[in-house]
Each structure stands twice: as C-alpha cells, then as structure tokens.
C-alpha cells in the first residue's frame, strides 16, 4: 500500500520583526509592572478595564460587528471587546508578576 503525502503550502507571513501592536505592548509594559507589584490581584480586572477604556477613547464609534472572527465567539459590541482586551491585559500582568516575583 502506497500513501502519497503532499506538503501543504502555508500562507506567507508578513516578514515583519516588529509590529505596531508590539510598540503598544512595550509602552504598556511599565504599567503592567507597576500594577503587578503594587495593586492587589483582586483589583487587576477593574484596573485593566479602566486602562482599556482610556486606550479606546478616540475610537468610540468603532464597533466589532465588522470583525467576523470576534462575532463568531459571541463578541458583539464595544463592551464585550473591552472585556476581552482587559482579560488579555490581566493575563499579561499575571505573566509579568510571575516573571518578576516567581
């Protein structure tokens, strides 16, 4: 029995080593360090929500309805998107805390 195996072509990556999102993360990293060291863990989510609201102030008219990748997960509006981004920031704070404190 002979089995033919074909290699699948992968979509090419952009080839960029540094993206705009990376710059945003680097600018927020000192805030993550401060929050992870000086804010109690139970307050992290509210701090992250507050930070996301500050970050999104100029784009208040933008809605998530145009983004099918998020709509497929039931994320339908601005508040849902804020919560998802706040949870991502909270996760980053947890990683920073583990990296700094152990």
Residue 64 has pLDDT above 90, yes or no: no
The owner of tokens 């933008």 is 62
65-81 per-position pLDDT tens digit: 455 566 666 666 778 88
Among 58, 54, 61, CA closest to 85: 54
Mean pLDDT of 47-71: 67
What's the CA gap between 37 and 101, in Å, rounded? 9
**Of the listed ranges 7-16, 23-32, 75-84, 89-98, the one predicted with least confidence:** 7-16
* 3-state SS class at 12: coil
State how far the Cα of 83 lies from the Cα of 88, in Å rounded to an integer. Answer: 9
């Amino acid at each position: 029995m002979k089995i033919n195996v074909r290699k699948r072509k992968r979509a090419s990556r952009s080839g960029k080593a540094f993206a705009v999102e990376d710059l945003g993360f680097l600018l927020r990293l000192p805030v993550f360090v401060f929050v992870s060291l000086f804010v109690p863990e139970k307050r992290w989510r509210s701090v992250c929500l507050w930070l996301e609201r500050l970050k999104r102030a100029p784009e208040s008219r933008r809605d998530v309805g145009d983004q099918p990748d998020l709509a497929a997960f039931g994320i339908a509006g601005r508040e849902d998107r804020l919560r998802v981004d706040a949870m991502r920031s909270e996760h980053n704070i947890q990683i920073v805390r583990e990296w700094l404190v152990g």
